A and B are shown apart, each in its own frame.
Chain A
């Protein structure tokens, strides 16, 4: 089946530093990848849509200068949390959409970010 690898699974960083999270589709190509954030006991919140070769589309209220997204190839998208603060601590999940009609989204296993 389609596999999406997200790395790292867990990261702890100091306030003011930047953290990069990678999302790779291992056995399929994805022109579109999505980045979500999940707060405790809450639903998935879509942060941005990442399209290969073009700028990401950010949801309302998501700071594009803080959450930098790069989708350099059909199998890799990265999310960089710049100048992280404790309020950025969260569970970040990526998903990838395979090419083709009526394809389901496939999710990575998430990254637990803790900013101290």
Chain B
């Protein structure tokens, strides 16, 4: 059973606009959430994370929002740049060392 879901397999956004990537989870015990960016033939790169005690974390152009009641998190990228084109994975973790990944959303930023 997929505990972390990314329902949009792909997203296209115009350069300069906002990219919003969404992620849903089912396990209310998750307390740590992360976003990763992945280029083809490379390993994922950690982007930003948020703990369950917060509802927003910002790092430069990247902001992660967490809605615990809805079990939903999102990654906002603004302004979007062509170099942001990649596959984005969300992940969640609870007690213990297990991380659960979504299936990824392929973002294309159109120049």
Contact = CB atoms under 8 A, between A and B. Distances in A.
Given A6-B43, A95-B43, A112-B41, A105 B51 contact: no
In the A-B complex, the 8 residue pairs with the closest CB atoms: A107-B43, A43-B103, A104-B46, A32-B97, A109-B43, A107-B44, A110-B43, A93-B43
Nearest to B97: A32
Contacts of B67: none
Contact of A107 (B45, B51, B102, B103): B45
A34 B93 CA distance: 14
Contact of A34 (B41, B45, B51, B99): B99
Interface string B40-60: 011111100101000000000
Q: Is the interface of A mostly helix, strand, loop or mixed?
A: strand
Contact of A105 (B46, B102, B104): B46
B46 A106 contact: yes
Given A44-B101, A104-B49, A106-B46, 11 more contacts: A6-B43, A32-B97, A42-B103, A43-B101, A46-B101, A93-B43, A95-B44, A105-B99, A107-B45, A109-B43, A110-B42
Interface of B: 32, 34, 36, 41-46, 49, 51, 89, 91, 97-99, 101-104
B91 A105 contact: yes
Contact of B49 (A42, A93, A102, A109): A102
A42 B91 CA distance: 15
Contacts of A4: 43
Nearest to A40: B40
A99 to B, nearest CB: 11
Interface in A80-101: 91, 93-95, 97
